[in-house]
Amino acid sequence: MKIRTRFAPSPTGFMHIGNLRTALYAYLFAKHNDGDFLLRIEDTDQERYVEGAVDLIYRTLAAAGIVPDESPANPGDCGPYIQSERKAIYAEYAHKLVELGGAYYCFCSKERLESLTDENGNRKYDKHCLHLPKEEIARRLAAGEPYVIRQNIPTEGISSYEDMVFGTISVDCKDLEDNILLKSDGMPTYNFANVVDDHLMRISHVIRGTEYLSSTPKYNLIYKSFGWEPPRYMHLPPIMKDAQRKLSKRYGDANFEDFIAKGYLPEAIVNYIALLGWSPGDNKEKFSLAELIERFSVEGLGRSGSIFDEEKMRWLNGQYIRELTKERFEELAKPFFDKSKIANKYDYKKFTALLQPRVETLGEIPAKVAFLAEYTPDFDLNLYTNKKNKTDATLAKTVIGISLRLLENCGDFDINVLHEQFSAEAEARNIKKGAFLWCFRIAITGQEVTPGGAFEMADILGKEECLSRLRSQLSRLA
């Protein structure tokens, strides 16, 4: 049997890191086994529908490199792949299930249902309509009375299944309720749609979050009533924010696109989340998508929630940034550079060699280059004092004097040539090179920490700006 998995998001306007991980695992499992991966849009809850949400799902999967073999945009032979377009299918199967005895029509009013609430606020449907005479049902249906279709759960017995991650999961049928499968507007509930669709779409393995772990026996009863073979299941523990809390959109910290906006690379995010709940069995941490496909295994899936560690993802992202080609880095860094205070003032390409080894996310770029715009000549003179290099303002004055002279006479502003001249001059004057460079760098940047060394900074600033900054410093120290 061909392995077929699916990702079945509800279009809520937002792709959570947890959703993406579910999609990724379903994709990896399918591809590892030469199977198909499907995308199905679960939009039966029209109230939650958000404009543009489906596009966001496509965009996110595409950015992550997860390509569905079948989807609304690329349908196979079991479409439509959007649940709201499958209404007629659900109605047909719901009525069939009634005939098979696995479900029944229910005409109960809201008031009657409310009256079933016990003193603890719990409500369980009492199967009232299951016992209506056939003729009465036919009459009420013919009269166009509104109805729902409910699952007819056996009153006794155990329903259980083997989850591939969690092992045996059982529930006692008497603890289950006759849930609504088809609503009065003809829309299915998740309880029903997931079963009908997974069956008709020939899904062999259902991979989804643990929130469905304990309701799966109930879904399996529907498969049983239809005489269908249920799929195998892998339920995935949640991704945690810390030991107690799940990562969720409520904390605003888990959105894929927010991470992209912060300058994370999709391949680094994918790599990181692949390891949140799955272990390759060794210490390897960096995996391309192709490697993940090759290595993915059910045995590596864990049962406990993994804590999302942004620092770790940031570190991994830094590794990916270092590996980009120069051209690709330039292209990806550009929008971030454009947000900086110095956009349009400096030639951005001069920064890329400097920044690529120094940032872990592209979002750090504006802060890294801000010093160029933030130069104030009257910075604290104590900056010239550096214990390690044994520098102070007096030495700085000498260094600035020499640097000015060298720069004024340099002709071409060639950093390599200047570097040699500076070194020779420092040696001739018995000034340690480190001390010389410290004073020079402080003079032209006014910052203790800069994203690059003295000459890299000078190169970015250009000759005129260096000269003007050195002059202003010389007059301060005079």
How many Cα atoms occupy the beta-carbon half-sphere of 365 within 13 Å? 31
Q: Would you say 153 and 177 are in contact if contact means Cβ atoms under 8 Å apart? A: yes
**Could you write out the DSSP letters of every residue in 344-383?**
TTS-THHHHHHHTTT-SSGGGHHHHHHHHH---TT--GGG
Q: Rule CB under 6 A: say whether 194 interacts with ligand GLU.
A: yes
Q: Rule CB under 6 A: say whether 71 interacts with ligand GLU.
A: no
Q: Rule CB under 6 A: say whether 10 interacts with ligand GLU.
A: yes
Which of 127, 249, 312, 350 is catalytic? The answer is 249
Q: Rule CB under 6 A: say whether 208 interacts with ligand GLU.
A: yes
Give the max Cα distance, the chain: 111
Q: Rule CB under 6 A: say whether 43 interacts with ligand GLU.
A: no
Read off the DSSP letter of residue 156: S
Q: Rule CB under 6 A: say whether 205 interacts with ligand GLU.
A: no
Alpha-carbon gap, residue 331 to 338, rounded angstroms: 11
Minimum distance, C-beta of residue 40 to ligand GLU, in the bound complex (Å): 8
Beta-carbon neighbour count of residue 67 at 10 Å?
A: 13
Q: Which of 4, 5, 9, 23 binds ligand GLU (CB under 6 A)?
A: 9
Alpha-carbon gap, residue 78 to 96, rounded angstroms: 19
Q: Rule CB under 6 A: say whether 451 interacts with ligand GLU.
A: no
Per CB under 6 A, which region of 6-14, 179-187, 251-259, 378-386 contacts ligand GLU? 6-14
Q: Which of 29, 30, 31, 42 binds ligand GLU (CB under 6 A)?
A: 42
Per CB under 6 A, which region of 8-16, 99-107, 218-226, 372-380 contacts ligand GLU? 8-16
Taken in order 335, 339, 340, 341, the sign of the CA dihedral is: positive
Alpha-carbon gap, residue 81 to 8, rounded angstroms: 10
Minimum distance, C-beta of residue 380 to ligand GLU, in the bound complex (Å): 55
Alpha-carbon gap, residue 30 to 36, rounded angstroms: 6
Q: Rule CB under 6 A: say whether 237 interacts with ligand GLU.
A: no
Query: Which residue number has the CB closest to ligand GLU?
Result: 208
Alpha-carbon gap, residue 72 to 80, rounded angstroms: 7
Whether residue 2 lies in the annotated active site: no
Please work out the total of residues on this chain that contact ligand GLU, with binding judged by CB under 6 A.
7
Q: Rule CB under 6 A: say whether 8 interacts with ligand GLU.
A: yes
Alpha-carbon gap, residue 80 to 255, rounded angstroms: 28
Question: Where in the sequence numbering do the catalytic residues fall?
Answer: 249
Footprint on this chain of ligand GLU (rule: CB under 6 A): 8-10, 42, 194, 208, 212
